[in-house]
Amino acid sequence: MNTEAVKAIYKNEMRRTRNTLLQSIAAPVISTALYFVVFGSAIGSRIESVEGVAYGAFIVPGLMMLSLLTQSISNASFGIFFPKFTGTIYEVMSAPVSFFEILLGYVGAAATKSFILGVLILITATFFVDLRIAHPFWMIGFFLLTCVTFSLFGFIIGLWADNFEKLQLIPSLIITPLVFLGGSFYSVDMLPAFWQKISLLNPVLYLISGFRWSFFEVSDVQVGISLSMILLFLLVCIAIVWAMFRTGYKLKP
């Protein structure tokens, strides 16, 4: 195991974040604050509570998930796409580094960034609403698992994409709609029966539901199912990455 290389990639990626601090951390925090102002305060003041939870607080887990998912994917996909695009990937590819170590460096850094971001959003949230976390360990568990899984997913997209359009395609066409329709801002119970059924096909629903449960003990689906879903998705991502690694996917002519 070439730990120095993993460290080097990790540190390099984290440095890139520091250089673009405004874009990678400040921007998502500001947009989350705006969500609180618009949804939490403006609209939330008209909605008493959802399942006994003040609306402003109710949307916190969903908002965190929204940022974690989109930012994990964009960080990780960009992290590997950029060196591919500029050609600097040659260096990693000709170094005594295994695919697994490359993965560890890039995905680890992307997941760390998401984690920091999530913590910042949580802190931001406490300025707007009263928060209590019923099951802190589960909360951290879902939190970490989401960061890692979606960073891995982003890494796959970054490897797969050979142009900027493809890089944006999945996040904007699939992930964003799924997150918005996954109950970030509402409980699925609020929907008509038909749409409730449809919503159950949305994997992100399970994620948000489980995460929200760890805060308020209210959920759309059972927490066990939520956990199984995210673990399943993690396994799928690992399987895809493993298959890519076997074939040297798109990295070597």
Partner 1 sequence: MTERKTIVSVKGLTKTYDNGHQALKGIDLDIQEGEILALLGPNGAGKTTLISTICGLVSPSDGSVSVAGFDIIKDFRKTRELIGLVPQELTLGAFDKVINTVSFSRGLYGKPADTALIDNLLDELSLGDKKHSMVQQLSGGMKRRVLIAKALSHEPRVLFLDEPTAGVDVELRKDMWAIVERLRQSGVTIILTTHYIEEAEEIADRVGIISGGELLELEEKQILMSKLGKKRLVIELKNPVDALPAELDEYGLTLSGDGTKLTYTFDARQERTGMTSLLSNIATAGLVVKDLNTQQSSLEDIFVDIVAAEA
* CB 94 to partner 1: min, Å: 4
Of 86 and 192, the one with the shorter C-beta distance to partner 1 is: 86
Q: CA-CA distance, 191 to 180, in Å (whole number)? A: 13
* CB 156 to partner 1: min, Å: 21
User: Which residues sit at the interface with partner 1, rule CB under 8 A?
Assistant: 2-5, 7-9, 11-12, 15-16, 19-20, 82-83, 86-88, 90-98, 248, 252-253
Of 1 and 193, the one with the shorter C-beta distance to partner 1 is: 1
* CB 89 to partner 1: min, Å: 9
> In a 3-state reduction of DSSP, which class is residue 53?
strand
* CB 2 to partner 1: min, Å: 4
Of 97 and 205, the one with the shorter C-beta distance to partner 1 is: 97
32-41 long-range CB contacts below 8 Å, 24 or more apart?
32/63, 32/67, 32/121, 32/124, 32/125, 33/124, 33/128, 35/59, 35/63, 36/63, 36/124, 36/125, 36/128, 36/129, 37/128, 39/185, 40/128, 40/129, 41/128
Beta-carbon-side half-sphere exposure of residue 4 (alpha carbons within 13 Å): 2
Of 2 and 202, the one with the shorter C-beta distance to partner 1 is: 2
